[in-house]
Protein backbone atom coordinates (compact mmCIF):
# COMPACT_ATOMS: atom_id res chain seq x y z
CA UNK A 1 0.00 0.00 0.00
CA UNK A 2 1.32 3.45 -0.90
CA UNK A 3 2.38 5.59 2.08
CA UNK A 4 -0.02 8.52 2.32
CA UNK A 5 2.75 10.78 3.60
CA UNK A 6 4.44 10.57 0.18
CA UNK A 7 1.32 11.48 -1.77
CA UNK A 8 1.96 14.34 -4.16
CA UNK A 9 -0.18 17.43 -3.74
CA UNK A 10 -2.05 18.81 -6.75
CA UNK A 11 0.07 21.19 -8.81
CA UNK A 12 -0.47 23.68 -11.60
CA UNK A 13 -2.39 26.91 -12.07
CA UNK A 14 -5.84 25.36 -11.60
CA UNK A 15 -4.73 23.63 -8.41
CA UNK A 16 -3.23 26.88 -7.12
CA UNK A 17 -6.56 28.66 -7.65
CA UNK A 18 -8.39 25.94 -5.77
CA UNK A 19 -5.84 26.06 -2.96
CA UNK A 20 -6.30 29.81 -2.63
CA UNK A 21 -10.08 29.44 -2.59
CA UNK A 22 -9.90 26.74 0.08
CA UNK A 23 -7.63 28.80 2.34
CA UNK A 24 -9.87 31.86 1.96
CA UNK A 25 -13.03 29.87 2.70
CA UNK A 26 -11.42 28.05 5.62
CA UNK A 27 -10.25 31.32 7.15
CA UNK A 28 -13.77 32.72 7.01
CA UNK A 29 -15.35 29.56 8.39
CA UNK A 30 -12.81 29.13 11.20
CA UNK A 31 -13.31 32.71 12.29
CA UNK A 32 -17.09 32.44 12.10
CA UNK A 33 -17.59 29.01 13.66
CA UNK A 34 -14.33 28.10 15.40
CA UNK A 35 -12.06 25.12 14.92
CA UNK A 36 -15.00 22.74 15.21
CA UNK A 37 -16.41 23.74 11.83
CA UNK A 38 -16.92 20.77 9.53
CA UNK A 39 -14.80 20.14 6.47
CA UNK A 40 -18.02 19.74 4.46
CA UNK A 41 -18.93 23.32 5.35
CA UNK A 42 -15.51 24.59 4.29
CA UNK A 43 -15.73 22.65 1.04
CA UNK A 44 -19.14 24.14 0.26
CA UNK A 45 -17.88 27.65 0.95
CA UNK A 46 -14.84 27.06 -1.27
CA UNK A 47 -16.86 25.51 -4.07
CA UNK A 48 -14.84 22.28 -4.05
CA UNK A 49 -15.31 18.72 -2.83
CA UNK A 50 -14.12 17.57 0.58
CA UNK A 51 -11.81 15.13 -1.19
CA UNK A 52 -10.14 18.08 -2.91
CA UNK A 53 -9.41 19.69 0.44
CA UNK A 54 -7.83 16.50 1.75
CA UNK A 55 -5.79 16.16 -1.43
CA UNK A 56 -4.35 19.65 -0.89
CA UNK A 57 -3.96 19.74 2.89
CA UNK A 58 -4.33 16.29 4.40
CA UNK A 59 -6.54 17.28 7.33
CA UNK A 60 -8.10 20.08 9.31
CA UNK A 61 -5.01 20.79 11.43
CA UNK A 62 -2.83 21.14 8.33
CA UNK A 63 -5.44 23.37 6.72
CA UNK A 64 -5.64 25.60 9.77
CA UNK A 65 -1.85 25.84 9.85
CA UNK A 66 -1.95 27.03 6.24
CA UNK A 67 -4.66 29.55 7.11
CA UNK A 68 -2.47 30.94 9.91
CA UNK A 69 0.57 31.12 7.66
CA UNK A 70 -1.38 32.84 4.90
CA UNK A 71 -2.92 35.37 7.30
CA UNK A 72 0.43 36.24 8.86
CA UNK A 73 2.10 36.51 5.47
CA UNK A 74 -0.55 39.02 4.43
CA UNK A 75 -0.26 40.87 7.74
CA UNK A 76 3.53 40.80 8.22
CA UNK A 77 5.16 39.82 4.95
CA UNK A 78 5.67 43.35 3.67
CA UNK A 79 7.00 44.45 7.05
CA UNK A 80 9.50 41.57 7.13
CA UNK A 81 10.79 42.35 3.66
CA UNK A 82 10.99 46.07 4.42
CA UNK A 83 13.00 45.35 7.57
CA UNK A 84 15.40 43.19 5.57
CA UNK A 85 15.90 46.01 3.03
CA UNK A 86 16.53 48.56 5.75
CA UNK A 87 19.02 46.30 7.48
CA UNK A 88 20.83 45.62 4.19
CA UNK A 89 21.05 49.38 3.62
CA UNK A 90 22.64 49.74 7.07
CA UNK A 91 20.12 52.32 8.23
CA UNK A 92 20.13 53.72 11.75
CA UNK A 93 19.02 50.98 14.14
CA UNK A 94 16.43 53.20 15.82
CA UNK A 95 14.81 54.00 12.46
CA UNK A 96 14.78 50.30 11.58
CA UNK A 97 13.21 49.28 14.90
CA UNK A 98 10.56 52.02 14.82
CA UNK A 99 9.55 51.20 11.24
CA UNK A 100 9.51 47.46 11.92
CA UNK A 101 7.44 47.87 15.09
CA UNK A 102 4.91 50.05 13.28
CA UNK A 103 4.55 47.39 10.60
CA UNK A 104 4.13 44.63 13.16
CA UNK A 105 1.47 46.55 15.05
CA UNK A 106 -0.41 47.43 11.87
CA UNK A 107 -0.39 43.80 10.79
CA UNK A 108 -0.86 41.91 14.01
CA UNK A 109 -3.54 44.22 15.42
CA UNK A 110 -5.94 43.49 12.57
CA UNK A 111 -9.21 42.09 13.86
CA UNK A 112 -8.97 38.86 11.85
CA UNK A 113 -5.37 38.20 12.88
CA UNK A 114 -6.17 38.73 16.54
CA UNK A 115 -9.22 36.49 16.20
CA UNK A 116 -7.06 33.74 14.69
CA UNK A 117 -4.60 34.06 17.55
CA UNK A 118 -7.44 33.76 20.07
CA UNK A 119 -8.62 30.63 18.29
CA UNK A 120 -5.11 29.17 18.40
CA UNK A 121 -4.88 29.89 22.13
CA UNK A 122 -8.15 28.04 22.66
CA UNK A 123 -7.05 24.99 20.66
CA UNK A 124 -3.30 24.88 21.39
CA UNK A 125 -3.62 22.30 24.17
CA UNK A 126 -5.15 19.77 21.77
CA UNK A 127 -3.18 20.88 18.72
CA UNK A 128 0.19 22.36 19.76
CA UNK A 129 1.31 22.54 16.15
CA UNK A 130 -1.09 25.46 15.67
CA UNK A 131 0.86 27.52 18.19
CA UNK A 132 4.12 26.52 16.55
CA UNK A 133 2.78 27.70 13.19
CA UNK A 134 1.90 31.08 14.70
CA UNK A 135 5.35 31.51 16.21
CA UNK A 136 7.14 30.42 13.04
CA UNK A 137 5.26 32.85 10.79
CA UNK A 138 5.02 35.62 13.39
CA UNK A 139 7.57 36.40 16.12
CA UNK A 140 10.19 33.83 15.07
CA UNK A 141 10.22 35.18 11.52
CA UNK A 142 11.72 38.45 12.74
CA UNK A 143 13.93 37.14 15.51
CA UNK A 144 17.01 36.11 13.51
CA UNK A 145 17.35 39.18 11.24
CA UNK A 146 16.66 41.39 14.25
CA UNK A 147 19.33 39.60 16.27
CA UNK A 148 21.84 40.01 13.43
CA UNK A 149 21.11 43.73 13.26
CA UNK A 150 21.43 44.23 17.00
CA UNK A 151 24.72 42.33 17.12
CA UNK A 152 26.11 44.63 14.44
CA UNK A 153 25.54 47.69 16.63
CA UNK A 154 28.84 48.33 18.35
CA UNK A 155 27.29 50.62 20.97
CA UNK A 156 24.87 47.95 22.17
CA UNK A 157 25.77 45.32 24.76
CA UNK A 158 23.23 42.46 24.68
CA UNK A 159 24.40 39.43 26.67
CA UNK A 160 21.18 37.43 26.16
CA UNK A 161 19.69 38.03 22.71
CA UNK A 162 16.70 35.75 23.26
CA UNK A 163 15.63 37.72 26.30
CA UNK A 164 16.30 41.03 24.57
CA UNK A 165 14.08 40.21 21.60
CA UNK A 166 11.26 39.08 23.88
CA UNK A 167 11.64 42.33 25.82
CA UNK A 168 11.39 44.29 22.60
CA UNK A 169 8.21 42.47 21.58
CA UNK A 170 6.82 43.09 25.07
CA UNK A 171 7.41 46.82 24.77
CA UNK A 172 5.92 47.46 21.35
CA UNK A 173 3.69 44.55 20.33
CA UNK A 174 2.36 42.42 23.16
CA UNK A 175 0.17 45.16 24.71
CA UNK A 176 -2.05 44.90 21.63
CA UNK A 177 -2.40 41.15 22.04
CA UNK A 178 -3.13 41.43 25.77
CA UNK A 179 -5.78 44.11 25.34
CA UNK A 180 -7.39 42.22 22.46
CA UNK A 181 -8.06 39.44 24.99
CA UNK A 182 -10.25 41.93 26.85
CA UNK A 183 -12.06 42.88 23.65
CA UNK A 184 -10.28 46.24 23.49
CA UNK A 185 -8.23 48.01 20.83
CA UNK A 186 -5.48 50.43 21.71
CA UNK A 187 -5.96 53.89 20.27
CA UNK A 188 -3.64 54.78 17.36
CA UNK A 189 -1.93 57.59 19.27
CA UNK A 190 -1.25 55.24 22.21
CA UNK A 191 0.09 52.59 19.82
CA UNK A 192 2.48 55.13 18.33
CA UNK A 193 3.69 56.22 21.76
CA UNK A 194 4.30 52.61 22.69
CA UNK A 195 6.42 52.16 19.56
CA UNK A 196 8.47 55.33 19.88
CA UNK A 197 9.06 55.14 23.62
CA UNK A 198 9.43 51.37 23.61
CA UNK A 199 12.24 51.55 21.06
CA UNK A 200 13.93 54.33 23.04
CA UNK A 201 13.65 52.38 26.30
CA UNK A 202 15.06 49.28 24.67
CA UNK A 203 18.05 51.03 23.11
CA UNK A 204 18.72 53.11 26.21
CA UNK A 205 18.89 50.00 28.36
CA UNK A 206 21.30 48.17 26.11
CA UNK A 207 23.57 51.06 25.13
CA UNK A 208 27.12 50.49 26.34
CA UNK A 209 27.78 53.97 27.84
CA UNK A 210 26.82 53.82 31.52
CA UNK A 211 25.89 50.18 31.17
CA UNK A 212 26.88 49.39 34.75
CA UNK A 213 24.33 51.91 36.01
CA UNK A 214 21.32 50.61 34.05
CA UNK A 215 18.00 50.78 35.81
CA UNK A 216 14.54 49.80 34.66
Mean pLDDT along residues 114-132 = 84
What's the confidence (pLDDT) of residue 177? 84
What's the confidence (pLDDT) of residue 209? 66
Residue 49 has pLDDT above 90, yes or no: yes
What's the confidence (pLDDT) of residue 215? 40
Which tens digits make up the pLDDT trace of 140-181?
888 888 898 898 888 999 999 999 999 999 999 899 888 887
pLDDT range class, residue 7, cuts 50, 70, 90: low
Residue-level length of the chain = 216
Residue 6 has pLDDT above 60, yes or no: no
What is d(CA 132, CA 134) in angstroms, rounded to the nearest whole number? 5
* Alpha helical stretches, state H, 89-173: 93-108, 111-123, 128-137, 139-152, 161-172
Residue 25 has pLDDT above 70, yes or no: yes
Range with top average pLDDT, 48-57, 77-86, 108-117 = 48-57
Mean pLDDT along residues 115-128 = 84
Instruction: Tell me the CB-side half-sphere exposure of residue 18, using CA atoms within 13 A.
Output: 20
What's the confidence (pLDDT) of residue 214? 42
Which tens digits make up the pLDDT trace of 74-84?
888 888 888 88
Mean pLDDT along residues 184-207 = 94
- CA of 91: how far to CAs of 88, 95, 103, 104, 165, in Å? 8, 7, 17, 18, 19
What's the confidence (pLDDT) of residue 9? 76
The overall average pLDDT reported for the chain is 86
pLDDT range class, residue 27, cuts 50, 70, 90: very high
Q: Which helix (H) or strand (E) holds 187?
A: none
Amino acid sequence: MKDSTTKRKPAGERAARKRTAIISAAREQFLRHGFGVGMDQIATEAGVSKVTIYNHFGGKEDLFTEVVGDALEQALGDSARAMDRRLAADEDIRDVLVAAARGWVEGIAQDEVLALRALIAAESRRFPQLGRAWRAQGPDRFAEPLAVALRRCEDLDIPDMQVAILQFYALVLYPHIVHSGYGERLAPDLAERLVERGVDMFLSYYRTPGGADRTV
